[in-house]
Amino acid sequence: MSTKPKPGPTTADQAGNTLPALRKAAAHCRDCPLWEHATQTVFGEGPAAARIMLVGEQPGDQEDTAGKPFVGPAGRLLDRALTDAGISREHVYVTNAVKHFKFELRGKRRLHKTPAQAELAACLEWLDREIEIVAPELIVALGATASRAVTGRATPIGANRGRLIEHAPGVSLLITVHPSFLLRVPPEDKEQEYGKFVADLKLVVPSAKG
């Protein structure tokens, strides 16, 4: 759904037709070098038949340690925004385009580093299978890396956010910023940018409520 045609069955294709089976197989993925320094694979989580799927970029430091997506500062901000938009996180499936934490060391700190295109491409088999198994009615791409993973091409956020896009038959796509963006904006812009993010998320409320 999100990538170019595959030359043949991938490891994810052969993992089975359930999220637990896919999660188990992804834990052993060695298709790119990121696994060598990450603590573990951070797979998606949420209802297997969720109407909405949120796709981020990659796990961060706290996600890498916990093995769960969106549990760090950006995740807590996402939870707050979902609540303000009238959406329960318990009803959505949350995942990342890349399943291992890519970072660079600054002293003892592990700082986020944007995945390379080759790393994104290597991980797409897992995201594709998550989308196939969950079969959401609406996908929310959080940030540029997520939108590239879902659409298969560079998709400007500014020109596409604030509206639902037809992604596939029966599947809509919403492109918006990653919540980590809101953590980096100047203090004087935080309230306005947060409000725009919540307004974007409110577009998915009908799907959230079923």
Q: What is 13-209's CATH number, 3.30.1330.30, 1.10.3720.10, 3.40.50.11930, 3.40.470.10?
A: 3.40.470.10
Residues above pLDDT 70, as percent of the chain: 94
Look-up of token digits 């949120």: 54
Query: Mean per-residue pLDDT for 153-178?
Result: 95
Q: CB count, 10 Å around CB of 49?
A: 10
pTM above 0.75, yes or no: yes
pLDDT at 208 exceeding the cut of 80: no
Look-up of token digits 């430091």: 61
Give the per-residue pLDDT at 8.
62
For 15-45, give one letter per residue: b (16+ CB within 10 A) or e.
Answer: beeebeebbebbeebebbebbeebbbbbbbe
Query: Mean per-residue pLDDT for 109-123?
Result: 92
How far apart CA 25 and CA 68 sit, in angstroms, is 16
How far apart CA 1 and CA 39 sit, in angstroms, is 29
